[in-house]
Amino acid sequence: MSNPTVSGYDPIPSLGKRSTVTVRVDMPAAGQVGALAVPVVSGEDPPDELAVGAEALAAAGFTGARGQTLVLPHPDGVVRVAVGLGPPGVIDTTLVRDVVAEFARAVPHHLTLAVELPPDDAQIGAAEFAQAATEGVMLARWRFQLGAGKDDRTLDGLVLVATSEQLESAREGARRGKTIADAYNIGRDLANCPAASLTAARMADVAVQVAPDAGLEVEVFDKDQLIEMSCGGILGVNMGSAEPPRLIRIRYAPGSPTGRLALIGKGIMYDSGGISLKPSDESHAQMKNDMTGAAAILATMTALKDLGCTTAVTAYLCCTDNMPSGTAMKLGDVLTMRNGKTVEVLNTDAEGRLVMADGLAMATEEPVDALVDVATLTGACLRTFGVEIAGLMGNNADLIGQLKSAGDTVDEPVWELPLYRPYRRQLDSAIADLTNMGGVNAGSITAALFLEEFVDGHPWAHIDIAGTAQLPAPRTWRNKGATGFGTKLLLELATTFRPPATSPEPTAS
């Protein structure tokens, strides 16, 4: 069972819990913390707080390289952790988040940690530092665990040591950092949850349970309603599953909104490939994470109110299993989607775009300034970008630019691929409006071109997180396993969103 004192969220069985981690900004009294981070710049004398000189650090192999750590005992009983900042240069939120996360990992048995804020004349402000440090510690210490342990706690508290002049700014930064980390860890918990426990119906229960505290309105559409709504994509993919599908619509409606944004998430709770069965390998074993797009969007929605977001955001989570059975969708079947377009199924393992098509079509039926979909969509994107960069495509340069900027700010990078429309002919069908599968090449691009058929000309961007949804090993604040990638990216987009200008399409297209 996921530990709510660390992750902030426990989908099995207790829903909707925030973390009980205490984040304080003050001067801790003796005995209140177990370990203190002490930053060291490569090539410069270490701070007096470490009580050792540069020669002693070098003798222990510590050079101050970025992210390097060295744990040192101290006479007062509080462990000092030398944390390398690298050579002198710009100190930004990405650096702070990364090195503070390495500090948290270096002392895994200490449950209360302390980080000292830099002086007021540093390159980074107190609020920005406090937010990044809080994110770094809470994200690095998150764990997803099943079953009861003798003591599953991995973090009780974080103290940010600040001067009296820094207190107000640092407290606000820490509050924002905790809100973002709590939300991100909700996405992680959901993405790591076994498919047998987190079904489409249970995903809807999660949304309903978190809604009141987050200021959200939730509508859940079941199988009978989806039939009435002509959501042929979700229904077609669901045909082989014993678990019923759900389309979950979540609304965040601030007073006097400054923009209207729709988020559409792929929620394939488990993807066997259907009749086009996946091989029995490691990637198949990871397919409980094929709902990471929906998980990241649900997690995002839980934090909008606390972050003071002024954008009205509506989410569409398209949730079902994709399973093989005697009733499963077959190759050659033709589905009628929500917007009336027909799709010939050439590969049942190209199912994510089918469920997303219904969600995109629904999103266009209401006034909206932009649509953004997030999906673990194509192995081609994993092959192109690996596990640390998500693919990005879209039809509006302004919206693409906002997403790139958001990704750079929060260190969830996206990289644009061309929406090259001559490839659209690969989706031509002799018996339907289009097929669900292009040729053997440019799979990420043809998948995006398929989705564009359902946006009705609205400003739209597609984020392919097939690579970033799973990490083989921890790195800084990122943990091994299903990552929940996208929550920080979408929170930054939503809280800074402006309706896209009528602009030319990205030059790459």
Pairwise CA distance, residues 356 & 461, whole Å: 13
Peptide bond into 504 cis (omega under 30): no
Cβ proximity of 93 and 132 under 8 Å: yes
Asked if 360 and 462 count as a contact pair (C-beta separation under 8 A), the reply is: no
Bridge partners of 41? 86
Q: CB atoms < 10 A from the CB of 59, how many?
A: 10
Q: Give 500's DSSP letter.
A: P
**Residues with active-site annotation:** 278, 353
Structure tokens at 136: 């770094």
Task: Assign 480 to helix, strand or coil.
Answer: coil
Q: Please count the helices (runs of H) and the strands (runs of E) in the chain.
A: 15, 19
Half-sphere exposure of 276 (CA within 13 A, CB side): 15
Is 102 in contact with 83 (CB distance < 8 Å)? yes
Please give the Cα distance from 190 to 9 (Å, whole number). 9
Place of tokens 């006479």: 75
Q: Using CA atoms, how far apart are residues 342 and 492, in angstroms rounded to an integer?
A: 36
